[in-house]
Every structure is written in C-alpha cells, then in structure tokens.
Amino acid sequence: MATGRTHRPATRSRGIPEATVARLPLYLRALTALSERSVPTVSSEELAAAAGVNSAKLRKDFSYLGSYGTRGVGYDVEYLVYQISRELGLTQDWPVVIVGIGNLGAALANYGGFASRGFRVAALIDADPAMAGKPVAGIPVQHSDDLEKIIQDNGVSIGVIATPAGAAQQVCDRLVAAGVTSILNFAPTVLSVPDGVDVRKVDLSIELQILAFHEQRKAGEEAASGDGALPTAAARSESADQGPDGDMPAVMPA
C-alpha cells in the first residue's frame, strides 16, 4: 500500500521551516490589504494583529527570509509584498487544472482568489460527457479523456482534485503520469503518489469533527465544574492562531 511521501518533512525547504512557509500567504494577504490602503510601513505588532499571529512569531518568520525591516521603524509594505511573493513563487504564472466539476469544482473555478495570486485556471476537466463544452466560470469543461494532452499542452504542474472519493486515486495517477507534481486534494481519500510529488489535502468533514470534539468538551466542562459561567478570559486581546495550526489535516466531500 506504499503511499508516497508528501511535503518533504526531511529536507527542510531551503532553510525555511514548513510552519513559516504556511504562514507566508497569511502575511501576504494582510500586506496586500495594507498596500491597497496605501499604508507605507507597518510594525511587526500591527502586521501580526492583522494576520492573526503574535509578533514574535512573525519577526522570527521574516528573519528566515532576510533582514527586510528597519529597526525603530518597521517593514516597508510594498517591499515585503514583493519579497514574500517572490519567495512563494507567485511572481510566476502557475497554470492549474481542476478535475471534477461538480458543485465544489465549480465553486473553485469561480473562486476569484486564484487569478490574483499568480494562479490561472488553465482547464476544467470532468468525466461526464454531458458536461463537455459547457462553460463554467467562463471556461469550457473538457472531457477527461483528454487529460494528458491538456496537462502537457498547458505545461500544468499543479492539479486540483475535486472528484468523488472513488475516482480520486485514478485521477491522481493520471495527473502524475502526465507530469503534475503538486496536487491539492479535496476528495476524502489518502492519495498514493510517488516520491517527489506533493499532496495537500483540504477536508471539510475532518475540520467539522475537530470542532465537534472541542464543542463536546465545552459542554462537558459546563456541566462538570461548579464554575458555573463561561471560562474567565485569562489571556485575551492577542494571538488568534486560527485554523489548522499546531494541528493538521482536513478531509472532504464525495
């Protein structure tokens, strides 16, 4: 059942910790918002608040990229936007294919956040012949028979799988065989890939289950401890750490 590895835990990516890489997009978004409001500089404290992390972490993260700030002043917004974009590889064009144009695939195709960040939906692919030719988000859906040709003609290296779970592994194999080396998987399956191929997974049902776990505990505490009321907010006002943070996975639809 040999499942291939995924995002290289071993060889840390050019000295930048995975945890840091995963936060760069967060900073980038916050910075982009500042940039749009023509804010020239920002302190680690302000930017951290906007990104929902604490400032020490942010400074440490930036220190892996280089010394891009000015002591006593802060960071130049435009400069940082550029540096982070470059580091993430967003200064180049990434053609992406989406396979499986159901509800979710269509939602992804319509998602505006793509184009804004160097990603370009090069093609939509579905196994249903009835879908072929039908435009979704202005892009005509193509039949999966042509998957290999589409990948090669467009020089696609990133694929998004939004098929039912049953089809995911097969689609994955074909994508990989055709040259795709990064996969974003929305199907609730563990994909097997050869070494050198990255897989990331987004899974709604897992996220909900994690919430349920904590929700259950809240209810339990309430009933148990004679404490009565809600937890006395000890440390409020900063931090935030939203999303899978010290945590991990996530699964998805069928």
Partner DNA sequence: TGCTGTGAATCGCTTCACAGCC
Partner DNA sequence: GGCTGTGAAGCGATTCACAGCA
Per the annotation, binding residues for NAD(+) are 100-105
Is residue 200 helix, strand or coil? strand
Is residue 146 helix, strand or coil? helix
Residue of 73, 89, 72 whose CA lies nearest to 24: 89
Cα–Cα distance measured from residue 90 to residue 118, given in angstroms and rounded to the nearest whole number: 5
Q: Does 241 bind a copy of itself (CB under 8 A)?
A: yes
Print the binding letters for residues 170-209 with a copy of itself: x by CB under 8 A, - otherwise.
-----------xxxxx--x-xxx-xxx-xxxxxxxxxxxx
Print the binding letters for residues 20-59 with a copy of itself: x by CB under 8 A, - otherwise.
-xxxxxx-xxx------------------xxxx-------
Rounded least distance, CB 251 to DNA, Å:
16
Cα–Cα distance measured from residue 98 to residue 159, given in angstroms and rounded to the nearest whole number: 6
Cα–Cα distance measured from residue 167 to residue 188, given in angstroms and rounded to the nearest whole number: 11
- Interface of this chain with DNA, residues 195 to 254, rule: CB under 7 A: 239, 245-246, 248
Rounded least distance, CB 183 to DNA, Å:
21
66, 223, 228, 233: residue in contact with a copy of itself (rule CB under 8 A): 233
Strand order, beta sheet including 135-136? 135-136, 139-143, 119-126, 94-99, 158-161, 182-185, 198-201
Print the binding letters for residues 97-136 with a copy of itself: x by CB under 8 A, - otherwise.
-----xxx-xxx-xxxxx--xxx-----------------
- Interface of this chain with DNA, residues 40 to 99, rule: CB under 7 A: 43-45, 54-57, 59-60, 62-63, 67-75
Orientation of helix 44-51 relative to helix 18-36, angle to 10°: 100
Cα–Cα distance measured from residue 166 to residue 88, given in angstroms and rounded to the nearest whole number: 32
Is residue 207 helix, strand or coil? helix
68 contact choice in DNA, a copy of itself, none (CB below 5 to 8 Å, kind-dependent):
DNA
74 contact choice in DNA, a copy of itself, none (CB below 5 to 8 Å, kind-dependent):
DNA
- Residues near DNA (CB under 7 A) are 9-10, 12, 17-20, 43-45, 54-57, 59-60, 62-63, 67-75, 239, 245-246, 248
